[in-house]
Every structure is written in C-alpha cells, then in structure tokens.
Amino acid sequence: MSETVSVKIGKSKHSVPKGKSLFQFLSEQNWNKNPVAAKFNGQMVDLDVPLSQDAQIQLVYPGSEEALEILRHSAAHLLAHAVLTLFPETQIGVGPAVEDGFYYDFLRETPFSQDDLSDIEEKMRELSQEDIPIRKKVFSKDQAIRLFKEKGQQLKEELIQEKGPQSVTCYQQGDFIDFCLGPHVPSTGYVQHFKLLSVSGAYWKGEEGGKQLQRIYGTAFFTRKELKKHLVHLEEAKKRDHRKLGPQLDLFSFNEDLGAGLILWHPKGGRVRRIIEDYWREEHLKDGYEILYSPHIAKLDVWRRSGHTEFYEAMYPPILSEDVEYQLKPMNCPFHIMVYNSSQRSYRDLPFRWAELGTVYRYERSGVLHGLLRVRGFTQDDAHIFCRADQLEEEIKKAISLAMRVLNTFGFSDFDIFLSTRPEKYVGKAEDWEKATQSLKKALLDKGLEYRIDEGEGVFYGPKIDIKIKDALKRSWQCTTIQLDFNLAERFDITYVGEDGNFHRPFLIHRALLGSMERFFGILIEHYKGSFPVWLAPVQIMIVPIADRHNDYAHTLDQKFKENKLRSCVDARREKVGYKIRDAETKKTPLILIVGDKEVKEGSASLRIHTQGDKGEVQVEDFLEKLLEIVKNRDMSVNLEEVYHQKT
C-alpha cells in the first residue's frame, strides 16, 4: 500500500499518494477553476510542487495581484526564450515582473530595432501556442555554473557565482532554461495576452560603468480585455507626459549644457510655481507655522553628525574651500535643528512649527532621472515640528488636516494611506516607537481615514505616514510624508526644560505635503493634461482682437484684468482670427475673449472656453466679477460655464 499525505484545499480534505504533484492531482480531480500557482503551508509555489507532506493548500487564481505578478514573471522568461531563439548569440541578464508589466535585460552588440521587437513578439506568440510545460529544476551550484558556461551565458554564470546558494533553482521550458527562484505558471500557454512596449539602455547590476545592456519592456494580462484597456491607458498617459507638454507649453526645459537632472523654469512655469508657493505659504501661516530660510551648503561635519555621510549615498562630493570641506545639502533637517538649538527652549514654548521651501541637491544616477519626477536639484516643501509627548497626537492630526486641505485644493481627493512601523534595525527606545506609532494610528482613526499597515517598513529613525494621491488616470503618486525621528534628536542633543526643571527630549516630526515643487508640478501637468484650472493657469485669459482697429479696446480690457491681478494677454498679431483662436487653444488657455466692432460698441466680448467652444457674448463687468470669485475660491472645476452670463 502506497504512503499518502493529507492535503486540505479550501474546505475539502484529500488523501493523496505521497510525491504526486499538485498539478497532476488537480488534473485527476478535473479541477476546472484554472489556478496558476498555490500557497503550500503559506509559501508561494508552482503547481508542479510534489505533495511530499501534509499540507494546507491555498490556490492562487487569475484576478489576484499575486497571480498577475507570476504571469508577468513567466512572460519575461517567454521574452528571453524568444530572443535566444531568434538571436542565439545574445547574453541574457535578469527579467523580473515590475509594476504594470515586466522587462528582460540583454547583452548584444547590435541594438534591437522596432522590427526586431515585432519579430520577438511574434515568436513569443508561437512559443505560447506550443503550450510548453514550465518545470522547476534543482542543481548543485557547480552543476549550474557548468550548465550556463556550456551555453555561453556568462552573465548567468556570474550571477550564480555571486548569489547562487549550494542548491540552485532553475526553470526550464523546452530548450530554454533560466536561473530563477520562481514561481511560474504551469506552461507557456498561460501567457497569451501580452505586448512588447519599448527598449532602453540599462547597466549590468545597475552599476554605472558596467556592461551596457538593452532592456526590453512589456506588459501582460490574463485577458485580452485587460490588455486592451491597459494599452489605451498607456496611450492616454503618453498624451499627458509632462516631459512633452512642459516644453510644448513653454513651462520648463532641459539643457545638456546645464547638466542632467537640472530644470530651467520658464516664465509661464515660474508663474504657476509662484501661485503654488504663495498658496503653500498662506496655508502654513494660517496653521501656525513660521517660515525659515537656510543655506544651500554646510560644513561636511554637519552631515557627519546628522549621519548622512554614513547612511545616505545620494550626496555630491564635498567642496573644498580654504581647507574646509563643505557639502551641498541633500536635506534641510540639520538647519532647522540648529535654529532650535540656538536658544534654550522651555516646555511652554512648544510646539514649534517651522517650514521651508528649501532647495536640495542629490546625486541620482542618470538612468533613473525622469523629467521633473526624478531630478538632481529640487525644492522640498519641508517642515519640522518640535513638540512634547502630550502634544504629539494633536500635531499629527493638524499635519494630516493641512495635507488633506492642500491636496484637495489642487484637485486630489483619492488617496492611498500607509502607516509604516518599526523595522528590525532601529534607533531610539522601543517604548518611544510604540507611543509614536499609536499616536499615528489614533490620528488617522480620529480623522476617519482608511489606511494600510506596512509592517516593519518604517525607516530606522522612526515610524511614518505616507499619503499617496491618485491622478486622473488612477496612478498613485507619493506626496505627503509625516515622519517621526528619534535619530537626529539624539545626534544633535535636542532638549527642552520641562515643568519639572529637568531636560527632556522633544519629539521631532519631519513633514512634507507636496514632496517637491518640481515633482508636484510634473504630477499636476499630467493630471490636468496641461489644461490647468483657471486659478492655476499661467495665462488665464487670451484677448483676440479681430482687426487692428480693435487693438485699443483689447489692451483696455487687458489692463483692467491686470489691475485685478488676473493673468491676461492680447494677441495683436496680424493673423487671421481663426488662427489666433486655434493657437490659444493649443496653448490650453482656459478663457478666450474675441472682440470686434459689436463688442467695442457694447463694452462686451465673445467668450470661448478651452475644450468647450463658443459661449456667446458676455458683459465684461459680469465676466470679471464671476472670474474673480472663481480665482479667489480656487475653484478646480473643469466646467467653466459659471464664468459667463448670456446677454439678455
């Protein structure tokens, strides 16, 4: 009698011959729900796993994030399989699943062309239709090294030498084999709905100066409908790309002579930034903050004391001046702490809320730079709060309220909120961590906000709240961070004199609302597709005279609007009126006023609203009154019908 094991799947319990694979067992049971993987006593495994012990099985089905990640990882292998079939001289690197898709890195002298991508995708479809079984193989480290050496795959050989354990896991499909931990779908036939998207450069192991590889990106889904929806989403994202819209709308530019990751703000972009910053200052002053300014550099010793030289890699080399080493600042924190330490503080003084729009500099590798979203010089909307333990919860609530108010004003109301707790390695006392974490939790609960716990994902110096906004395409962007710090308080010996006459350590809260001016501006451009709400638009009103004889009236209106602090402009070029209107639409000007003989005579204008067309004649005084009200209220409405009155 053969030995059996007990296997529980859902509510049903089965006695299965020991060693039989889960896939084989499900096939014999005519299991028709089509799982892609399973959790075997809590561990994610392939369906090919042998049932060698009693187990609680949780099947993983399409529709879950876990299943999608497995599918995309298998799609990356399918990509590498296709490339080696078509271009056998190619060296293969690594190919993980990533957010929204997958990629694989290749070492090849000839760059992949668009035609190559089409051929590779077609070969992937052929391999998918063959429905080749995907099987896990285990080798000794020496065997695995010999295997890939014989195949001429030096990159894989190098990876196994560096990272491979004594038992090396590989996955094989037909004549293709890859060093990989898995898990994978049961066969290539599961990978049907995919698309190769682009090819870019990458460094081997991410090290600049290393081998230059070609990275092919793709995406994959379980259904054709999901894939089609995602591709439409990608096309819409391309139309919103701030790297194209920014220069097109004359908001900002890049210049190779200036250096990578450094932004030139143009007058129109500068106007929008000033509006954002003025509003930011206004809200902070309302909430009891004081505004600080700090230098762009400091002695290197400051950064040694703060721990940045020890823990923070993205710092530029020191600058030597008169035998003293200075450092471009990557953070504003030490400066605010020095302001605090410039006087002895009493418990009666606390809390201090200090904010700064501080420009910082961080060395980001060229491969990760991305328009305004990842740069080397940027302005943080930074703040630090120094408070007593009994004030901590209230200060966190106030910071959350301010964040929500500011983000709502810019048109963001959909959020993902995360609370990151104490990691394995941390500084400070465990009881302080617990008190701080409970204060963060209670503040979120009191504000009625749903959140997820990121267990152990706090940074070593304190727990934090992260608020991610969702844009018009439902993409998630990290903006607000409220973070407690037990590290700098110790390193800089921050104290206050308590009611008992003794010295006590205040709680230090780091806090950013928008993240950085550059990144937030990029998010705004993509969220609104460059069509800013009227209160934010760099040019709010374009006045278009029909003929030269209407120019004086147009300039009179322009002057009137400017006196009321509105951003208007006159297009007095000797072009056809239709051309000037199209140009204003292309520049995404929210409001266009056309003036001719009738309008001059009646003191009116013909209104056109961007993307909404002609709205007829408006009386200038009525139009001005309504527009001022919208700007004052910072109305984010896309529908601007309320800015005009039809003449009766």
**CATH at 422:** 3.30.930.10
Identify the domain boundary among 13, 44, 60.
Answer: 60
Range with the lowest mean pLDDT among 5-14, 388-397, 514-523?
Answer: 5-14
Q: What's the pLDDT at 11?
A: 80
Provide the 10 A C-beta neighbour count for residue 236. Answer: 12
Whole domain around residue 76: which residue ranges? 65-236
How confident is the model at residue 2, as a pLDDT?
Answer: 60
* Chain centre to alpha carbon of residue 281: 25
d(CA 427, CA 430): 9
**DSSP codes, 306-325:** HTHHHH----PPPEEETTEE
Q: Does 132 lie in the same domain as 49?
A: no
Name the pLDDT band for 245 (thresholds 50, 70, 90): very high
Do 269 and 406 belong together in one domain? Answer: yes
Do 339 and 430 sit in the same domain of this protein? yes
Position 222 in a domain? yes
pLDDT of residue 446: 92
The residue from 489, 507, 528 where one domain ends is 528
Of the chain, the percentage scoring pLDDT greater than 90 comes to 76
CA 387 to chain centroid:
31
Average the pLDDT over 597-612 and give the result.
94
Task: Give me the pLDDT at residue 619, please.
Answer: 94
Q: What is the mean pLDDT of residues 125-133?
A: 97
Q: Are residues 170 and 269 in the same domain?
A: no
What is the reported pLDDT for 539? 97
Q: What is the pLDDT of residue 645?
A: 44
pLDDT digit string (tens) for 466-501? Answer: 999 999 999 999 999 999 988 898 899 999 999 999
CB count within 10 Å of CB 80 equals 23
Say which residue the tokens 């010999």 belong to. 146
Instruction: Give the residue-averaged pLDDT of 329-358.
Output: 96
Distance of alpha carbon 316 from alpha carbon 296, whole angstroms: 12
Domain-embedded: residue 430: yes
The pLDDT of 68-95, averaged and rounded, is 97
Q: Which two tokens stand for residue 396?
A: 């966190």
Domain annotation covers residue 578: yes
DSSP codes, 569-598? EE---SS-HHHHHHHHHHTT-SEEEEE-HH
306 domain-assigned: no
pLDDT at 190: 95
Pick the residue with more confidence: 567 or 312? 567
The mean pLDDT value for 60-82 works out to 95
The answer on 602 and 575 residing in a single domain is yes
How high is the pLDDT of residue 640? Answer: 54
Domain membership flag for residue 536: no
Asked if residue 367 has pLDDT above 80, the reply is: no
Say whether both 224 and 83 belong to one domain: yes
Q: How many domains does the chain have?
A: 4
Identify which of 520, 541, 552, 553 has the alpha carbon closest to the alpha carbon of residue 608.
Answer: 541
Please identify every residue annotated as catalytic: 333, 362, 380, 382, 384, 464, 510
Contacts of 172 (CB under 8 A, 6+ apart): 134, 135, 137, 178
**Which residue from 216, 242, 259 is spatially nearest to 95, judged by alpha carbons?**
216
For 407-521, strand residue ranges (E) read 415-420, 452-454, 464-470, 476-485, 496-497, 503-504, 507-516
Higher-confidence position of 29 and 49: 49
Residue 313 lies in a domain: no
Q: Looking at 29-38, 208-217, 403-412, 544-553, which range is the least confident one?
A: 29-38
Q: What is the pLDDT of residue 638?
A: 45
If you average pLDDT over every residue of the chain, what do you get? 92
CATH code assigned at 93: 3.30.980.10
Q: Are strands 352-361 and 377-387 parallel, antiparallel or unpaired?
A: antiparallel
Average pLDDT over residues 596-610: 95
Q: At residue 22, does pLDDT exceed 50?
A: yes
Confidence of residue 621 (pLDDT cuts 50, 70, 90): very high
Asked if 163 and 28 sit in the same domain, the reply is no
| Helix runs in 368-412, H state only | 392-409
Report the C-alpha gap between 406 and 357 in whole angstroms. 15
Indicate the pLDDT class of residue 83, thresholds 50, 70 and 90: very high
Residue 55's CATH number = 3.10.20.30
Q: Is the pLDDT of residue 601 over 80?
A: yes
Radius of gyration of the chain (CA): 30
485 shares a domain with 414: yes
Phi, psi of 317 (to 5 degrees): -60, 150
Is the domain of 490 the same as that of 550?
A: no
Q: Is residue 88 part of a domain?
A: yes
Least trusted range by pLDDT, from 34-48, 61-75, 246-260, 339-353: 34-48
pLDDT of 32 reads 67
Single out the residue of 608, 604, 555 nearest to residue 577, CA to CA: 608
- Count the neighbouring beta carbons within 10 Å of the beta carbon of residue 164: 20
In this prediction the pTM is: 0.86
User: Residue 555 maps to which CATH number?
Assistant: 3.40.50.800
404 and 481 assigned to the same domain: yes
Confidence of residue 387 (pLDDT cuts 50, 70, 90): very high
Do residues 144 and 281 both lie within one domain? no
144 neighbors 171 (Cβ within 8 angstroms): no
Determine, yes or no, domain membership for 299. no
In the predicted structure, residue 208 carries a pLDDT above the cut 90? no
Q: Which of 22, 40, 60 is the last residue of a domain?
A: 60
> Based on the domain organization, do 178 and 218 belong to the same domain?
yes
